[in-house]
Structure 1
Amino acid sequence: MPYVNIRITREGATPEQKAELIGGVTDLLVRVLGKNPATTVVTIDEIDLDNWGIGGLPVLDYRAAQTAKEAGR
């Protein structure tokens, strides 16, 4: 019984987008590993931006630094 946990930032993913993620991951496991979709579990955790970090920075600071870096090119 596969269990897949998807973690995304809480930035407004719609129910339709979440359903597409769940269906797509399930289909991938069926196609690649031959898993039974009836016993495949997919969960989605939405994480507040305050609780998400990249490269040692809170995600908003990281994004700002990346934007500044790209603007300086």
Structure 2
Amino acid sequence: MTTGGDKMPIVQVEIIKGRTLEQKRQMAKEVTEAISKNLVCPPEAVKIIIREMEKENYAEAGTLFADK
């Protein structure tokens, strides 16, 4: 069984712009806790990249989010 201590998990999260700083802080905290627990690594090893997209740069089922 690996301890995960030699790994640096990098999590990339892509979201539509508009979340508050507090929402992003809470997400980062909870994602870090989940990754740390499941990959058995220290929280300090978990890196998170948050990419925010404009609504006009994302579509679902053929419709831009800007048009919803």
TM-score range (shorter-chain normalised) is 0.7 to 0.9
- Residue from 4, 15, 35 that aligns with 2:11: 4
Over alpha carbons, which structure has the higher Rg? 1
Q: CA deviation at 1:60?
A: 3.7
Distance 1:22 1:8 in 2: 13
1:47 is aligned to 2:53: yes
% identical equivalent positions: 28
The equivalences for 1:1-73 within 5 A come to 1-11=8-18, 13-61=19-67, 63=68
RMSD: 1.2
The ranges of structure 1 where at least 4 consecutive aligned residues each deviate by more than 2 angstroms after the TM superposition are none
Deviation digits for residues 3-54 of structure 1 (CA, Å, limit 9, x no counterpart):
001111012x111110111111000011112122111101111100000111
Distance 2:21 2:12 in 1: 16
Structure 1 unmatched runs, 5+: 64-73
SS in 2 for 1:6: strand
TM-score, normalized by length of structure 2?
Answer: 0.79
From the two aligned structures, give the one with the greater helix fraction.
1
Counterpart code for 2:46 = T
